[in-house]
Amino acid sequence: MNGADTAFVLISAALVMLMTPGLAFFYGGMVRVKSALNMLMMSFIALGIVSVLYILFGYSLSFGADSGGIIGSLEFVGLRGIDADTLTGGDEGIPVFAFVLFQMMFAVITPALMSGALADRVKFSAWAVFITIWVSVVYFPVAHWVWAEGGWLFDMGVIDFAGGTAVHINAGVGALAAVLVVGKRIGFKKEPMRPHSLPLVLLGAALLWFGWFGFNAGSALAADGTAANMALNTQVATATAVLGWLLYERVKHGAFTTLGAASGAIAGLVAITPAGAAVNALGAIAIGLVAGLVCSWAVSWKFKLNYDDSLDVVGVHLVGGLIGTLMVGFLATEGGGLAQFGKQALGAFSVMAFTFVVTWLLAKLVDVTMGLRADEDDEVAGVDQAFHAETAYDFSQVGTSSARGAVAPTDTTTDAPEGKTEGKKVDA
């Protein structure tokens, strides 16, 4: 066993874990006060659900023995046959447990990324069911295609070092499909929907940036020069994308915004994710600059094309992921050129087509069976109260009475009918 590599991967796994709460803050600050908690919870619940699924069958479907290039076998269901001494790749490998933990964090954050597109208007229970099925039928197979030996994109030689295709393009296009099923927020393009806390957004972006070193460099699965190159390029591309986004905003809208700086950072991080190990630092600067400039423009598409991708998952993750995935085709220091570009494009568009169709069908299925969209009343009043029986901020003590439940917990579930008024009875 290689102790240094093992330590590095375990620490990287913890760093990637922090990205999901970071994402929750990044998104949570961008929504209005009335649904801030729901936005946080849509990400946080993925830590609960997907971690368990990953042990049960996620790891096996992603990295079990290949079946037709499409999906892994069920040989590792419940991590069967793996113990603390099982190593990846020979005597100098790392424990498979470390690899499982690291990959688990990727599976957790990918569905959470989609939540930003669906802000303010999705039933929480339906979201939980949706991501449970989504990771099972979309994420685990796509992760297999891209990263597992025998996966058809892996075998073709598509470069996706840390998840530009499997994570960001995948989540971005999934978000788009889900938005088309769920529809626009009430008041989209009419009411102002200002972010309620930009400091929270910047805090989230900072946590993501920090955790992303684990996400990107950790994907080397070794404490080596590749990891160092990736870490360096992660920093440089992200920095450049911040500058690119701010430049575009200053020219187009007249101000350097905090939200722009935070968004630019995420765009840069997304774009360098597939590419960072295959380019040098100057290539990283080019990728970061393009990501900052193009993504800051891409977030305006939703107003023209009239789809309510609320927090710009398409504009940042899909577009940023495509930029990194396609640019590395040309910029790769080894083997870059038209042939590689063709492979990159084929990989990206295959995932887009597959994920769009399956996600659309899944969202439709959940919508028809249990209802994916929140009730209009709940949406207008704010889904925090409807689904979580909480308020994010205690702005005013006035009007809060201790009539029920403040002295001792009362059982509030017995009289709450399923579905329509989920959770509402608590404060009724």
Helix residue ranges, H only, 218-309: 225-253, 258-272, 281-298, 301-305
Residue 349 CB contacts under 8 Å (≥ 6 apart), including other chains: none
CB of 294 to another protein, least distance (A): 13
Length of the chain in terms of residues written: 428
Handedness of CA 347, 350, 352, 358 (dihedral sign): negative
CA dist list (Å): 350 to 54, 134, 145:
24, 17, 10
> Which is closer to another protein, CB of 115 or CB of 263?
263
Return the closest-CA partner of residue 31 out of 129, 109, 126, 118. Answer: 118
Residue 93 and residue 107: Cα distance in Å, rounded? Answer: 22
> Which is closer to another protein, CB of 253 or CB of 404?
253
Rg of the chain over all Cα atoms, to the nearest angstrom: 21
CB of 299 to another protein, least distance (A): 5
Strand partners, 380: none
> Residue numbers of the site for another protein (CB under 8 A)?
192, 194-195, 249, 252-255, 257, 259-260, 263, 296, 299-300, 303, 312
> Which is closer to another protein, CB of 299 or CB of 362?
299
> Which is closer to another protein, CB of 301 or CB of 354?
301
CB of 254 to another protein, least distance (A): 7
> Which is closer to another protein, CB of 22 or CB of 195?
195
Which residue type is seen at 114? M
CB of 396 to another protein, least distance (A): 11
The SS3 of residue 160 is coil
Residue 239 and residue 220: Cα distance in Å, rounded? Answer: 22
> Which is closer to another protein, CB of 223 or CB of 269?
269
Residue 268 and residue 242: Cα distance in Å, rounded? Answer: 7
> Which is closer to another protein, CB of 52 or CB of 255?
255
> Which is closer to another protein, CB of 20 or CB of 296?
296
Contact 209, 262 (CB under 8 A): no
Strand partners, 67: 71
Phi first, then psi, for residue 83 (nearest 5°) are: -130, -175
CB of 204 to another protein, least distance (A): 15
For tokens 């809208």, the residue is: 253
> Which is closer to another protein, CB of 309 or CB of 375?
309
CB of 259 to another protein, least distance (A): 6
Phi first, then psi, for residue 190 (nearest 5°) are: -110, -55
> How buried is 254 (Cβ within 10 angstroms: 0-12 exposed, 13-18 middle, 19+ buried)?
exposed
CA dist list (Å): 272 to 7, 8, 171:
24, 20, 16
CB of 300 to another protein, least distance (A): 5
Phi first, then psi, for residue 87 (nearest 5°) are: -115, 155
CB of 391 to another protein, least distance (A): 20
> Which is closer to another protein, CB of 120 or CB of 249?
249
Contact 116, 313 (CB under 8 A): yes
